[in-house]
Amino acid sequence: MAGAFSVYRDEHNSKDIHFEMQVADIPREQLELRDEIAAALTVLRIIVTDEVRFEEYFRSLLSLSQAGLVGQTANPDVAIRALNDLKRDVTAREAGRIKNQYMQSLAIRALLLILALCIAWGVVTFVKHSTGFISNLFRFEIGSMIGVWLSFGARKPILTFEDLHILEEDRLEPLIRLIFAGLLAFIIALAFHLKVITLTLGSLTTDQLDSNSWAALFFGLLAGVGEKALSTNVTRQAAALLKT
């Protein structure tokens, strides 16, 4: 198959590949290969900050691009196999670092928010000597912060190449995610307290939220771990209540 492109490193951007069309009618296989290469290059530009490693990946990507899109013996099938091999290599070398960095960032922000909650809890307790639901609400919120951190590790045990540059589909930053989940957890805690929603797990029920500190922490953990589904459920419940 004759290649439909001239492929070379962009003269104005050393981290970009230029695909110059040589014919008007481009085979579908070559168009799909070009799109796959462009998508892979976008991921590499985002996740690889080390210039030496980026250059290594870039040269491999440029080489396979030329093998699949340039010349009289262009072979898109071989190029796509080489691209998949490159993706596996990048994932094996970069996924652990990226996941650990994100979890570390999430953990630091969760700890800061937990510290802020503990300070607020202490102030409220000192001023009003609050017990019962107010104290357990703070426990619920602290549990939700821990749960959000656990949630990512549970939902993303293995990262794919396509996950490396977008760890979360909603693209929320760690701090924003924690605050958002915390506010949703607050709504859930109020719903439990007002008995708008009642859950029973074995001998444990959400009716114990006001009196059982361990129950408050446990249900907070569950709310955090289920934070991805929490927003959907809260919206659904709110819509159902407003319709009645």
Question: Using one digit for the tens of pLDDT, what is the confidence trace for 182-195?
Answer: 999 998 899 888 88
pLDDT of residue 244: 56
What's the whole-model pTM score?
0.83
Question: Using one digit for the tens of pLDDT, what is the confidence trace for 208-218?
Answer: 888 889 999 99
pLDDT band at 241 (very low <50, low <70, confident <90, very high): low
Question: Using one digit for the tens of pLDDT, what is the confidence trace for 141-184?
Answer: 999 999 999 998 888 888 999 999 998 888 889 999 999 999 99
Contact 165, 43 (CB under 8 A): yes
